[in-house]
Structure 1
Amino acid sequence: MPSSAGSVLRWPSFDQVIDQATRWATTQQQQNPDLLAVGVFGSYGRGDAGVGSDLDLVLILESCALPIWERLRRWDTGALPLACDLLVYSREEWQTLPSWNPRLAEVLGRDARWLAGHPPHPSSSPAILRR
């Protein structure tokens, strides 16, 4: 925003970030039939984000044979108002997450807020179904 002293940067509100992330998630799901669910976690999932917070997203695909670092290239987050960290899992990885990364499964079960779609039922942790 222009001011007499120069430019002032304004951080987007929590609601603006969630609204834009929800629109992005819905568009991605419409354009990618293999995208089962998109959720936000971390500070935006918990509802305690503030100035400087990034946007943590989890995407669950029907299947994905690409290595973890290759999966991110497919998802253009440039339209989102903040820097994003993405976790991209296949259905099978998501369903078995509690067995190979129980701490992350616990965090996602507690903090995830689903913006588009519904996560598949995990095979061994009902906590991940909350929200």
Structure 2
Amino acid sequence: MLRWPEPDQAIQATRHWAERQAADHPGLIAVGVYGSYGRGDAAVGSDLDLLLIDRNARGPQQERLPQWPLELLPLACDALVLSPQELQALLAPADGLPGRMGQAVGRECRWLWERR
């Protein structure tokens, strides 16, 4: 029998995951969720939309992701690794009109961990 974690359990496990990653990745600045977990309406079958802000992020996404052990998260996940500058450009692009992704992240992101 498959069992889906309750949303609060998934969030808590993701927060612990972020804390462990921060110990190994000094460039990690923040970890957040957006989408259904960010909005608070996650249900059975929802995946985790994860946002990692890493000051050392370089290259295309497919080169950024392998260093993060996403398989240790409690759910399947779509992850986006951005530098702080890329996050700023996503949320407030030069033309002043954020795209759909920027709007969703700006509206829905729930920060689970931030470096102090």
> Which TM-score tier does this pair reach, normalised by the shorter chain?
0.7 to 0.9
> For the residues of structure 1 that align with 2:2 and 2:58, how far apart are their CA atoms?
41
Give the structure 1 partner of residue 23 of structure 2: 30
Letter in 2 for 1:16: Q
Q: Within 5 Å, which residues of 2 pair with 1:61-100?
A: 61-97=54-90, 98-99=92-93
> For the residues of structure 2 that align with 1:64 and 1:14, how far apart are their CA atoms?
29
Give the structure 2 partner of residue 10 of structure 1: 3
SS at match of 2:32: strand
Residue 106 of structure 1 pairs with residue 96 of structure 2? no
> For the residues of structure 2 that align with 1:63 and 1:31, how far apart are their CA atoms?
13
Letter in 2 for 1:22: R
> For the residues of structure 2 that align with 1:92 and 1:45, how far apart are their CA atoms?
22
Structure with bigger RCO (C-alpha 8 Å, 6+ apart): 2
Instruction: Give TM-score, length-normalised by structure 2.
Output: 0.88
Q: Structure 2, unaligned stretches of length 5 or more?
A: none
Give the structure 1 partner of residue 40 of structure 2: 47
Contact 1:26 1:115 in 2 (8 A): no
Measured after TM superposition, the shift of residue 33 of structure 1 is 0.6
User: If you compute each CA radius of gyration, which structure gives the higher value, 1 or 2?
Assistant: 1
Provide the aligned length of Structure 1 versus Structure 2.
111
Instruction: Give TM-score, length-normalised by structure 1.
Output: 0.78
> For the residues of structure 1 that align with 2:55 and 2:106, how far apart are their CA atoms?
19
Measured after TM superposition, the shift of residue 66 of structure 1 is 1.8
